[in-house]
């Protein structure tokens, strides 16, 4: 449970707001407060308590959906640090 709270804290620290929860309560969805400059689309982040992971979704041109799953909070924070424009 502590790991999930750390994922949520990392999301909030990087400009994400909580937007919903799955019916079963096993996943929490976040949306970036500002859209990406290239695509004008907001990143989405799903924190999953069943897999103890966070999956980030974003779009690149030409209209390609990308995703990356993080098993540790430090890996997510590192990705945010290395990809500030994303």
On the question of pLDDT at 86 being above 80, the answer is no
Both tokens of 67, joined, read 């995703």
DSSP letters, 16-81, are: EEEEEE-TTSSEEEEEESS--TTT----EEEEETTTTEEEEEEEETTTEEEEEEESSHHHHHHHHH
Q: Judge contact between 27 and 46, C-beta under 8 A.
A: yes
Where do the domains of the chain lie?
2-82
Q: How far apart, in Å, are the Cα atoms of 15 and each of 9, 30, 45, 64, 71? A: 10, 10, 11, 22, 20
Q: What is the pLDDT of residues 17-69, one digit of tens each?
A: 999 998 888 999 999 999 998 889 999 999 999 999 999 999 999 989 999 99
Give the pLDDT band (50/70/90) at residue 3: confident
């Amino acid at each position: 449970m502590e790991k999930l709270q750390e994922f949520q804290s990392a999301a909030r620290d990087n400009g994400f707001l909580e937007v919903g929860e799955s019916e079963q309560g096993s996943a929490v969805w976040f949306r970036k407060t500002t859209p990406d400059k290239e695509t004008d689309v907001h990143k989405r982040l799903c924190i999953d308590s069943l897999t103890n992971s966070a999956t980030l979704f974003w779009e690149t041109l030409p209209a390609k959906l990308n995703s990356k799953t993080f098993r540790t909070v430090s890996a997510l924070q590192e990705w945010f640090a290395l990809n500030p424009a994303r």
